[in-house]
Amino acid sequence: MIGIIGAMEEEVSEIKDCLEPSTLSISEKAGMVFYSGTLLGQEVTVVRSGVGKVNSALCSQVLIDDFYVKALINTGIAGSLDRDIDIGDIVISKDVIHHDMDASIFGDPKGWVPRMDTLSFPADEELIKTAETASDIIGIRSFIGRVATGDQFVASKATKERIVSEFGAICTEMEGAGIGQAAYINRVPYVIIRAISDKADDSANMDYAEFESHAIANSVKLICKMMELI
């Protein structure tokens, strides 16, 4: 069983619609609705976690405990932090960090969750390779790199520059680190797949409105191709 998490309904509805109807079962927990069934030959559970790291971590733990998932995949959209990564392009996580975790007053590097043994949560090598192959097949440009997660929509040049200089991340979003941290603690492989909807700068809210659905479509295409390859 593979768990597929998207924050918003728009990010998962098309994937849910592709589940083989005769295999579909639906259950509810922690205010989330879990759709289990066969997607292009793979047993999956698809769920909308809600926005932000608390929701995505809760959702990951339910998938691990109740659905016994062997891997977690996060699908959705993100703001680009790299001038070469454009709207519609895909980012595949190499690792993920919390860009808004800051206990540096105690000597921890920024982003470090106090008392944990790692700064970032590495994504699974096999899942990264599968995502890269899938993007080659469907013909959408992809970039592998660090994802920076925070409980904020980044829409200013100053915040964008801070995240790039502190963490060297290539995109920013609001759920990945909740999933990466839950996966790390539970020793479950994971990967984040994000299509770019905006540049996380002063034009971000306008770009987001215009390009959200195009970006979501690209992320969904990639997830479906991955299911055929896994």
From CA 106, how far away is CA 119, in angstroms rounded?
Answer: 15
Give yes or no: 228 in active site. no
Residue 173 sits in the site that holds ligand ADE (CB under 6 A): yes
- The residue type at 211: F
Q: Specify the residue, 94 or 160, whose C-beta has the smaller distance to ligand ADE.
A: 160
Residue 49 sits in the site that holds ligand ADE (CB under 6 A): no
Which residue has 């964008």 as its token pair? Answer: 160
Residue 47 sits in the site that holds ligand ADE (CB under 6 A): no
Residue 79 sits in the site that holds ligand ADE (CB under 6 A): yes
Q: Specify the residue, 43 or 82, whose C-beta has the smaller distance to ligand ADE.
A: 82
SS3 readout for 47-63: EECCCCHHHHHHHHHHH
Asked if 188 and 68 count as a contact pair (C-beta separation under 8 A), the reply is no
Alpha carbon distances (Å) from 73 to 110, 146, 154, 202: 26, 15, 23, 30
Residue from the set 63, 85, 90, 174 that interacts with ligand ADE by CB under 6 A: 174
Q: How far is the CB of 12 from ligand ADE (least distance, A)?
A: 15
Find all residues with CB under 8 Å of 212, minimum gap 6, and list them: 10, 77, 197
Asked if 6 and 176 count as a contact pair (C-beta separation under 8 A), the reply is no
For ligand ADE, the nearest residue by Cβ is 79
Q: Specify the residue, 174 or 183, whose C-beta has the smaller distance to ligand ADE.
A: 174
Residue 198 sits in the site that holds ligand ADE (CB under 6 A): yes
Residue 200 sits in the site that holds ligand ADE (CB under 6 A): yes
Which residue has 């839950």 as its token pair? Answer: 182
Residue from the set 44, 58, 69, 77 that interacts with ligand ADE by CB under 6 A: 77
Strand partners, 172: 79, 148
Q: State the angle between helix axes of 9-17 and 204-229 in degrees (0 to 180), rounded to the nearest 10.
A: 30
Catalytic residue among 198, 201, 207, 212: 198
Residue 169 sits in the site that holds ligand ADE (CB under 6 A): no
Give yes or no: 126 in active site. no
Quick one: tokens of 143?
């970039």
Q: How far is the CB of 20 from ligand ADE (least distance, A)?
A: 30
Q: How far is the CB of 80 from ligand ADE (least distance, A)?
A: 8
Residues catalogued as catalytic: 11, 198
Q: Which residues bind ligand ADE (CB under 6 A)?
A: 77-79, 153-155, 172-174, 197-198, 200, 204, 208
